[in-house]
Structure 1
Amino acid sequence: MRPSLVVGLMSGTSADGVTAALVRLSGRSVSVLRHKTYPYSPGLQSRVLNAPELKAAELSRLNMELGEAFAQAALKLAGRSPVRLIGSHGQTVWHGPDKDPPNTLQLAEPCVIAERTGADVIADFRPRDIAAGGQGAPLMPAFDEFLFAQGPLRAAQNIGGIANVSMVGRGKLWSAFDTGPGNTLMDLAVRLATNGRQEMDRDGRLAERGKPDERKLSELLQLPYFRQKPPKSLDKSLFSEEFLRRYFGTISRSRLPDVLATLCLLTARSIADSYRRFSPRGLIIQEVVVSGGGALNPALMQHLAQELEAPLVRSEKYGIPVMAKEAACFAWLAWRARARQANNCPRATGSRGPRILGKIVLGDR
């Protein structure tokens, strides 16, 4: 496969904006040249978060709006760089792999991205995996296998809105799945308690002031998803506003630190529990490589260090900035698809075999 400059685009469950990464790919080399998150306007973010309630006409409009936002992010990041390929995850507004029939929906019209940028665009990666009997997610494990298969057993732990892990090394990927909530419940609790005036618990400061409710934690860790064997994947609909109201009631500003302390520990403990339940038998994880926004939360990282036996490092150790890894993954998925090489991970999603994921829209360059 020839060396390429590729832009990867994605937006996660927090819907805070489009993260773009400019990536140089060649052989087994991945180099992130630069990356940036371009925030959504408050109105666009609100429409994304409310997308499951929108009617068809509103969803159609939102799809085109997001296409424009993704296109602008690609143009701004690429600058004068000769980018001829873009990989776009889009914005997930619904993920139902266990529904009948299994289904998923990502918005951000790739035709708009191709028209504005002139580049070929490969997007909408999940549906092909679902069509092949898989969960459609997580998509990161194929990238993790590319990065880390040739080394000791590691847990590549991404903590975005949803947290996912790839247990990889000693020549292959052993297991991969969504471990549970990442930042989504903490972010949602902050928005509810502040009536939308704050988006997150920056640096985990409020969680550090609070006291976790151990009884509540024990109750939550008994939820069926945490005991379900892989392959498995999550949508934020499970860990939603309804979830918070059911288990925590009305979240006031005065209660917020204790709620955040509990939710922060829930993320850490559900990750650690998943390792104990689902790690390869007879093998010991030598290192946990953390990426995603959760890696920037000192309170969460401290809990993880206490809950896990293996040492924690951030993905920068391997040349991938923590906030760029997911976008870099979609650049890599597109690069593989253009070369007509499989880019899914059946061991992670449960699909029937190797597949080339993504829909191609040709540009005019």
Structure 2
Amino acid sequence: MKILSLQSGTSADGIDVAIVDIKADGSRGPDACRTPWLTLRPLLTRTVAWTPELRTRVLALADGGSIDAAELCRLDTRMGQEFASAAAAAIKHLGSSVDLVVSHGQTLFHWVDGGHARGTLQLGEAAWIAEAAAAPVLCNLRAADIAAGGEGAPLMGVFDRAWLAAAAADTGGSVATVNLGGIANLSVVSSDGTVMAWDSGPGNVLIDAVVARASHGVDGFDADGRLGAAGKVNDRLLAMLLQHPYFLRPAPKSTGRETFGLPFVDSALASVGGDSPMALADLVATLTRLTARSIAASLRSSGAAQPARLIASGGGVRNPSLMSALGAELVRDGSDLVSSNTCGIDPDFKESLMFALLGFLSWHGVPCELPASSPGRARVAGHIAAGPKPLRMPEPLNGIRGLRVLAPQHRTPAGPGTIL
């Protein structure tokens, strides 16, 4: 089954596109055909930039700006059209149709009240994507879990359980991952196959925000971690930032840029005072240490067994300062930090593979068992926009046994994207 995955993360730095082939292996016993092993192979990955004007509007709204219903409709439509264009270009580039598109959309707000998620909003009208891709589109992936009492996030625990449970069982210890996107999220897969997953707090979002503000939008992130490496951590500011109540909440929990944005940083800066504005490099170094320390502390306090290693993915893997700071924090607990690339998964596209897996599960009627959901409350994730052809759903599966991720067969540069 060929599945096209579309998503734009918290930082809204581009549309990540992946086309993967997922095959079900039912050759391992009489019941295996209804509970198969899955094999996933990436066929194409690429990132498509948002139109600058549209990205500016998205970030302004995600950071607390107000709009009326007319503007919300226009924004939802424009984003759907840009997702659709990215999907159509990828399909044309691959030279093959797809069976399903999974579009996470762009998160604008994750509503948390009283310590629990109450709602979530992702934009990017799926009907435009279905029309452009000539395939059904699975969208609105988080709402069903929230309605059933869960957090709707992070979704990565579903992928990590399928991918890592067998390895954890073989070693007799836990295996953990961290996704260093705008928000950092952790998964811990235990040797018995159970998984914990939660958002630890900021990943790159605060670093990106202060760099973008200081450069008036010319730079959107700390390229190669140079600012973080050049600056000095301000211990007073770091201590103030770490007092945020989110860090004290027990897992599972979820958050977003509505909690960790520039107002959070500016409030802490005002509290610590000082005779002159803090140098940008020192601020970035402090926020880099905040991400590293909050991740390590969240993992330590989660109640899960401390893993021998933490597998990192997401854009933050390309920030040497962040990886160095996080690695130093983890050494204290006897854990090593490695990139998912060492395990055969491109760190820039692990989330894309995860959304493709969720699409396969929902298409085959398999509930999305998020760790924060109560037992028996797992729901099939998402809504389906049918597209131009009638829907023909397969017979539901009883579940899956696990997931193997294969390396690309070949790697060929191909313009703005890469066929794998």
Q: TM-score w.r.t. structure 2 length? A: 0.82
Aligned residues: 359
2:9 partner letter: G
Preserved contact between residue 110 and residue 121 of structure 2 (Cα < 8 Å)? yes
CA distance in 2, matches of 1:193, 1:351: 47
- What's the counterpart of residue 27 of structure 2? none
SS of match in other structure, 1:129: helix
Structure 1 residues 349 and 101: alpha-carbon distance in aligned structure 2, compared to 1, 3 A threshold: closer
CA RMSD of aligned residues (A): 2.0
- What's the counterpart of residue 261 of structure 1? 285
- What's the counterpart of residue 145 of structure 2? 129
CA distance in 1, matches of 2:200, 2:40: 26
- What's the counterpart of residue 136 of structure 2? 120
Question: In the TM superposition, what are the counterparts of 1:169-318 in structure 2 within 5 Å?
Answer: 169-248=190-269, 255-280=279-304, 283-308=305-330, 309-318=334-343
- What's the counterpart of residue 350 of structure 2? 325
Question: In the TM superposition, what are the counterparts of 1:95-174 in structure 2 within 5 Å?
Answer: 95-98=110-113, 102-152=118-168, 153-174=174-195
**Matching of residue 55 in structure 1 with residue 65 in structure 2:** no
Preserved contact between residue 139 and residue 344 of structure 1 (Cα < 8 Å)? no
Structure 1 residues 248 and 134: alpha-carbon distance in aligned structure 2, compared to 1, 3 A threshold: same
Superposition deviation, residue 254 in structure 1: 7.1
CA distance in 2, matches of 1:42, 1:364: 31
SS of match in other structure, 2:104: strand
**Matching of residue 89 in structure 1 with residue 110 in structure 2:** no
Superposition deviation, residue 284 in structure 1: 3.3
Preserved contact between residue 265 and residue 303 of structure 1 (Cα < 8 Å)? yes
Counterpart of 2:3 (choices 6, 13, 26) is 6
Gaps of 5+ in 1: none
Structure 1 residues 341 and 22: alpha-carbon distance in aligned structure 2, compared to 1, 3 A threshold: same
1:326 partner letter: E
Superposition deviation, residue 30 in structure 1: 2.1
Superposition deviation, residue 217 in structure 1: 1.4
- What's the counterpart of residue 15 of structure 1? 12
Superposition deviation, residue 322 in structure 1: 0.6
CA distance in 2, matches of 1:241, 1:306: 26
Preserved contact between residue 135 and residue 351 of structure 1 (Cα < 8 Å)? no
Superposition deviation, residue 148 in structure 1: 0.7
- What's the counterpart of residue 363 of structure 2? 338
Q: Residue deviations 1:173-197, cap 9 Å, x none?
A: 3311000100000000001111112
- What's the counterpart of residue 54 of structure 2? 44
Superposition deviation, residue 102 in structure 1: 1.6
Superposition deviation, residue 23 in structure 1: 1.3
Structure 1 residues 84 and 98: alpha-carbon distance in aligned structure 2, compared to 1, 3 A threshold: same
Structure 1 residues 228 and 37: alpha-carbon distance in aligned structure 2, compared to 1, 3 A threshold: same
CA distance in 1, matches of 2:157, 2:90: 26
- What's the counterpart of residue 88 of structure 2? 75
1:62 partner letter: L
CA distance in 2, matches of 1:264, 1:5: 38
Superposition deviation, residue 98 in structure 1: 2.2
Superposition deviation, residue 36 in structure 1: 1.0
2:300 partner letter: R
Deviating more after overlay: 257-266 vs 330-339: 330-339
CA distance in 2, matches of 1:285, 1:324: 23
CA distance in 1, matches of 2:39, 2:138: 21
Preserved contact between residue 132 and residue 352 of structure 1 (Cα < 8 Å)? no
Gaps of 5+ in 2: 24-36, 169-173, 390-420
Q: Residue deviations 1:91-132, cap 9 Å, x none?
A: 011110327992211100111100111111001111111110
Superposition deviation, residue 277 in structure 1: 0.4
Structure 1 residues 60 and 208: alpha-carbon distance in aligned structure 2, compared to 1, 3 A threshold: same
CA distance in 2, matches of 1:255, 1:173: 45
Preserved contact between residue 117 and residue 150 of structure 2 (Cα < 8 Å)? no
Q: Residue deviations 1:302-346, cap 9 Å, x none?
A: 01111003111111223221111111111111111010111231x
CA distance in 2, matches of 1:30, 1:101: 31
CA distance in 2, matches of 1:262, 1:324: 27
Preserved contact between residue 222 and residue 228 of structure 2 (Cα < 8 Å)? yes
CA distance in 2, matches of 1:19, 1:135: 24
Deviating more after overlay: 118-127 vs 21-30: 21-30
Deviating more after overlay: 63-72 vs 91-100: 91-100
Preserved contact between residue 102 and residue 359 of structure 2 (Cα < 8 Å)? yes
**Matching of residue 31 in structure 1 with residue 41 in structure 2:** yes
Preserved contact between residue 151 and residue 171 of structure 1 (Cα < 8 Å)? no
CA distance in 1, matches of 2:216, 2:293: 28
2:125 partner letter: E
2:361 partner letter: R
Superposition deviation, residue 288 in structure 1: 0.7
Deviating more after overlay: 287-296 vs 31-40: 31-40
CA distance in 2, matches of 1:209, 1:173: 41
Preserved contact between residue 160 and residue 187 of structure 2 (Cα < 8 Å)? yes
CA distance in 1, matches of 2:388, 2:22: 22
CA distance in 1, matches of 2:127, 2:375: 27
The runs of at least 4 consecutive aligned structure 1 residues that moved more than 6 Å come to none
Counterpart of 1:355 (choices 379, 396, 409) is 379
